């Protein structure tokens, strides 16, 4: 594996170069919050950024996305025929994405790109994107990514991993896509690979040790699904939940959406919007029946999906990358770490 050295003095210049071929997305500070957005010509990714409130999944899976369109004007030949909305899928790169958010994109990929079904919007956007990660030297107190199959220096889902070594970045080139980006940016200063890897490994160890929060997931797979479903703790967990969409909307791995049709004049669009299993409307049937009519059922769904159904279906870990966003932002402090540990250690009451 090749490691490239990028002097921080050359960073902005490289970003400018790459903008000639790529649309860039990166974290910037707006008002008092960090958000991921498309960078304008005079904007640069904030390389010191703390967690963005909302995850960068929206770059590939926007909160609101027009997917089909038609014209209702009957004088036009193909009126009322829904057609895929044409979009720009030219090359883009996400700069400074954290390793756990890149891992989350891989989880979303399991849902949107399967052998059976391919979501064209996701697949096209995914194909067009290069992921330039930034290793996390100082994990936040909410970060528990080292116990969710990723971590502050994890490489899964990334094309390049940048490591901030104060005066310079070391760039671990992980894929051809990553190499191509570095070439365009003009970052090509080779370095003593062995030494660089050693430095990176030391920093990695340090960062992993700085993560203070862990979850236990080792028993989840063997637990009986119905035992967990019927566990006595759900009412207690759900009591304080206000059924907002905060936890799902800020989550990098939640993938649910709703379909809406909207018309203005003769132009009609089919749109998909993020949805959340915490909302009663999510499962409301046209008949009026709601199979998840009670709050507890909805709270249980969120955790069962993330920590059990997903695990059972894909055998690929849990559907949480430990970013800690929901832990930090849930207004009533429902903490997935606590719920996960409860589920992981749950023994059904054998008396009845």
Partner 1 sequence: MNKLTQNIRELSSNLLKNNKVDMVIGFKKGTIPMAVSPMAAHNIEQTKEFIWDSNCGINLANFISDKKEKIGIIAKGCDSRNIVTHITENKISRDKLHIIGVPCTGMIDKIKLQSNFNDDITDYSENGEDIIVKSGLIEKNLKKSDYLKSNCKTCMHRNPVIYDELAAELVQEQKIEDQFADVKKIESLSIEDKWNYFDNLLKDCIRCYACKNACPLCYCPSCFVNESNPQWVGKGQDKTDIKTFHFLRAYHCAGRCTDCGACVQACPMNINVRDFTRKLIKDSYEIYGWEAGLDITKRPLLDTFSLKDDDSFIK
Helix pair angle (176-185, 8-19), 10° resolution? 100
| Minimum distance from residue 13 beta carbon to ligand SF4 (Å) | 34
Q: If contact means CB under 5 to 8 A according to the sort of partner, which of ligand SF4, partner 1, none does residue 252 touch? A: ligand SF4
Query: To the nearest whole angstrom, how small is the minimum distance from the Cβ of residue 111 to partner 1?
Result: 20
Whichever of 55 and 179 has its CB closer to partner 1, that residue is 55
**Tokens representing 66?**
């027009």
Closest to partner 1 by CB, 158 vs 334, is: 334
Number of alpha helices (DSSP H) and beta strands (DSSP E) in the chain? 12, 12
**329 touches 142 (CB < 8 A):** no
Q: Specify the residue, 131 or 255, whose C-beta has the smaller distance to ligand SF4.
A: 255
Q: Which residues would be at the binding site for partner 1 (CB under 8 A)?
A: 30-33, 35, 53-54, 62-64, 138, 140-142, 236, 239-240, 242-246, 249-250, 258, 260, 262, 271, 273, 276, 279-281, 327-329, 331-335, 337-338
Least distance CB 234 / ligand SF4 (angstroms):
12
Query: Which of ligand SF4, partner 1, none binds 277 (CB below 5-8 Å, type-dependent)?
Result: ligand SF4
Helix, strand and coil content of the chain, in percent to the nearest 5, comes to 35, 20, 45
| Element spanning 189, H or E | strand 189-190
Please report how close the Cβ of residue 77 comes to partner 1 at its closest, in angstroms: 29
Residue 122: contacted member of ligand SF4, partner 1, none (CB under 5 to 8 Å, by partner type): none
Smallest separation, CB 226 to partner 1 (Å): 26
Distance CA 229, CA 57 (A): 29
Token duo for residue 220: 């989840």
**Residues near ligand SF4 (CB under 6 A):** 241-244, 246-248, 250-256, 276-278, 301-302, 305-306, 320-327, 330-332, 334, 336
Please give the backbone phi and psi of residue 152, each rounded to the nearest 5 degrees, phi first.
Answer: -65, -20
Of ligand SF4, partner 1, none, which one sits near residue 31, judging by CB under 5 to 8 A according to partner kind? partner 1
Between CA 296 and CA 229 the distance in angstroms is 11
Instruction: Give which of partner 1, ligand SF4, none residue 259 binds (C-beta under 5 to 8 Å, depending on kind).
Output: none
Which residue lies nearer to partner 1 by CB, 311 or 334? 334
CA torsion through residues 132, 134, 140, 144, sign: positive
How far is it, in rounded angstroms, from Cα 262 to Cα 338? 41
Using alpha carbons, list the distances in angstroms from residue 343 to 150, 247, 266, 319.
Answer: 21, 19, 52, 14
* Nearer to partner 1 (CB atom), residue 140 or residue 156: 140
Separation CA 289–CA 291 (nearest Å): 6
Q: Which is nearer to partner 1, 239 or 314 (CB)?
A: 239
For residue 21, the minimal CB distance to partner 1 (Å) is 29
């Amino acid at each position: 594996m090749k490691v490239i050295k990028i002097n921080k003095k050359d960073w902005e210049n490289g970003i400018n170069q790459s903008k000639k071929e790529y649309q860039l997305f990166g974290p910037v500070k707006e008002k008092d919050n960090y958000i991921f957005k498309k960078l304008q010509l005079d904007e640069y990714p904030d390389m010191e950024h703390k967690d963005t409130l909302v995850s960068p999944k929206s770059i590939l899976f926007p909160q609101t996305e027009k997917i089909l369109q038609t014209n209702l004007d009957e004088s036009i030949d193909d009126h009322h025929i829904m057609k895929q909305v044409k979009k720009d899928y030219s090359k883009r790169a996400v700069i400074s994405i954290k390793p756990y958010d890149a891992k989350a994109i891989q989880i979303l990929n399991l849902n949107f790109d399967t052998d059976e079904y391919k979501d064209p919007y996701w697949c096209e956007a995914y194909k067009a994107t290069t992921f330039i990660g930034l290793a996390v030297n100082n994990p936040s107190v909410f970060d528990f990514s080292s116990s969710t199959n990723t971590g502050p220096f994890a490489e899964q889902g990334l094309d390049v991993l940048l490591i901030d070594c104060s005066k310079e970045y070391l760039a671990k080139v992980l894929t051809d896509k990553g190499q191509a980006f570095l070439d365009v940016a003009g970052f090509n200063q080779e370095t003593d690979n062995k030494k660089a890897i050693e430095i990176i490994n030391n920093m990695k160890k340090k960062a992993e040790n700085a993560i203070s929060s862990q979850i236990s997931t080792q028993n989840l797979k063997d637990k009986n699904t119905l035992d967990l479903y019927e566990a006595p703790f759900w009412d207690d967990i759900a009591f304080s939940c206000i059924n907002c969409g905060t936890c799902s909307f800020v989550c990098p791995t939640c993938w649910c959406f709703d379909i809406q049709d909207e018309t203005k004049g003769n132009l009609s669009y089919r749109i998909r919007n993020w949805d959340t299993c915490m909302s009663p409307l999510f499962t409301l049937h046209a008949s009026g029946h709601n199979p998840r009519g009670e709050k507890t059922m909805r709270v249980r769904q969120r955790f069962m999906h993330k920590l059990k159904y997903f695990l059972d279906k894909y055998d690929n870990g849990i559907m949480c990358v430990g970013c800690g966003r929901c832990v930090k932002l849930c207004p009533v402090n429902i903490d997935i770490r606590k719920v996960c540990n409860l589920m992981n250690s749950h023994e059904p009451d054998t008396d009845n």
